[in-house]
Structures are given as structure tokens and as C-alpha cells.
Amino acid sequence: MDSHTPELWRSHALIHSNQISAADKMDELMFKCWRKGLKRKDILPLAQEICSNTTDEDVSIYFKHMFERELSDKAKYLTERRLQQ
């Protein structure tokens, strides 16, 4: 992982379900933004609605993580079944 860790991915003594939910929402947002072809400047305000202290660097990391996963055999959204929906 990069030297910068986004807020939603930071380890805490206790991880709350809302942190997991927010991370899932952020992941889905990155995928939807990629599908729509949005630019980073357009994604940042949307990401900040999920986690207010999200930075431009965070968006890059979230996006890279989502994109690399979707191009692997661990794809969450780019599966044949999901694409047919």
C-alpha cells in the first residue's frame, strides 16, 4: 500500500460498522465514477459526502485499489452476472 493511508482504511483499536459501510460506499462510488468517466475533480466532492476529510490523494488510492481489483479474478463489480443486470 502507498505511504499515505486514506482515513477509512486506517487501523483503529475498534473498527465500527459505519466505517466498513463508508468504505464500501467509497468503493462503489469509485466504480460508478469510472463507469461514467468522471474526472478526479468531479469525484472529490462526491467522496467527501461519504468521508468529509477525503483528499485528492485519497481518491487516487481508492480508485487505484478498486481498478486493480476489478481487473483481477477478485472483481466485485465486473462480473458477468453483474454486467447483465
Q: What is the pLDDT of residue 30?
A: 96
Q: What angle do CA 30, 35, 38 make, to 5 degrees?
A: 70
Q: Cβ distance 53 to 82 under 8 Å? A: no
Q: Cβ distance 66 to 27 under 8 Å? A: yes
pTM over 0.75: yes
Q: What is the pLDDT of residue 85?
A: 56
* Ranges of residues in the chain whose predicted pLDDT is under 50: 1
